[in-house]
Amino acid sequence: MGDVVSLEDMRPHVVVNAADAAHVIPVALLEDVAKGLKPSAILTEPVIQRIIEEWLEFTS
């Protein structure tokens, strides 16, 4: 089980409903991954899959 943290520290954030669980991810973290400032390995495979799935639905 993961650590419980205050959502106030993660604003703004997104909730990703991945196959393994719901994940609250700070937007700043996603921006850093997209810019190459943090490794994409920081995100789990189910989270990456869901983000790509939603992006494809949004762009279609």
Tell me the per-residue pLDDT of 12-55, one tens digit each, with 9 for 90 and over: 999 999 999 999 999 999 999 999 999 999 999 999 999 999 99
Instruction: Please tell me the predicted confidence (pLDDT) of residue 23.
Output: 92
Residue 16 lies in a domain: yes
Residue 2 lies in a domain: no
Q: How many domains does the chain have?
A: 1
Instruction: Please tell me the predicted confidence (pLDDT) of residue 33.
Output: 96
Q: What is the pTM of this model?
A: 0.76
User: How is residue 45 annotated by DSSP?
Assistant: H
Residue 42 lies in a domain: yes
Residue 1 lies in a domain: no
Amino acid (1-letter code) at residue 47: V
Q: Which domain holds residue 54?
A: 7-59
Instruction: Please tell me the predicted confidence (pLDDT) of residue 59.
Output: 94
39 contacts 45 by C-beta, under 8 angstroms? no
Residue 3's Cβ-side half-sphere holds a number of Cα atoms within 13 Å equal to 3
pLDDT tops 80 at residue 5 = no
Peptide bond into 46 cis (omega under 30): no
User: How many other C-beta atoms can be found within 10 angstroms of the C-beta atom of residue 43?
Assistant: 20
Residue 11 lies in a domain: yes
pLDDT tops 80 at residue 8 = no
Residue 14 lies in a domain: yes
